[in-house]
Amino acid sequence: MSFPVRAITLDLDDTIWPIGPVIARAEAALGDWLERHAPRTAAHWPLEARRALRDAVAAEHPHLAHDFTRQRMISLERMFAAAGDDPGLAAPAFDAFFAARCEVEHYADSLGALDRLAARVPLAALTNGNADLERIGLMHVFRFQLGARDHGAAKPEPSIFHAACERLGCAPADVLHVGDDVEMDVVGAHRAGLRSCWINRDDECSAAREWPRDDVRPDLEFPSLAALADWLDAQPIRQDAA
């Protein structure tokens, strides 16, 4: 399939890097910090208990579904209070978690593919997560990063896609959204009027999946960002790219 693309919005977690190992390392870093600075809390809240608390906080605060940072801060404050420690420790504890959360290991094709994509059209990061591209060292290939927390609503809400298109100066139909998640990325982009590309990886971190829906399909499907870059390189260069 061929169609004009003036700009690309990109999901981050499980699109540019696998998120599972990142969160595992971040949780381990938080556990180490608690052992050193708040041993009572560490003893009271082992990993599985912390995960259960996070789930409970998310269920209690559906209005914060777009704000993983605030959800985790609430969880940390409750943990310290329940263990008899100072809830003010939540901020430095979160800093320890977040530093590790930004230590990502990219898929092998990601960095080269991002450079190739950015050489053709403007890129914008569009994420429900709270990764910081400045800390990760990738901000140079993106025009901007728009997160659900900053926007106030998460994918698949059309408003976050439309806000990104407005900042890019493009009509939604001229923007290609790229991501791994069926509902958040592909269905969300479709309903917001964007083109969509499903990154359906088949590697050591995940197996390729069958498309699960009959009513909506992605405009493009590739096993990697490199394959998307190959497709884009084969398209005619538009002189009016944003």
Percent pLDDT > 70 in the chain is 96
The C-alpha angle with vertex 98 and arms to 92 and 102, in degrees rounded to 5, equals 150
Sign of torsion over alpha carbons 185, 190, 192, 198:
positive
d(CA 82, CA 72): 15
Would you list the DSSP string of 89-126?
GHHHHHHHHHHHHT-----TTHHHHHHHHHHHS-EEEE
pLDDT for the residue 96? 97
Full-model pTM: 0.91
pLDDT tens-digit readout, 33-49: 999 999 999 999 999 99
Contact in structure between 200 and 208 (CB atoms under 8 Å): yes
Q: What's the token pair of residue 224?
A: 């990697």
pLDDT for the residue 141? 98
User: Does residue 11 carry a catalytic annotation?
Assistant: yes
What domains are defined for the chain? 7-18+106-233 (3.40.50.1000), 20-101 (1.20.120.1600)
Predicted confidence band of residue 241 (pLDDT cuts 50, 70, 90): low
Given the residues 11, 174, 180, 185, the one annotated as active site: 11
Phi/psi at 189 (5° precision): -65, -45
pLDDT tens-digit readout, 164-217: 999 999 999 999 999 999 999 999 999 999 999 999 997 665 667 889 999 999
pLDDT tens-digit readout, 52-75: 999 999 999 999 989 999 999 999
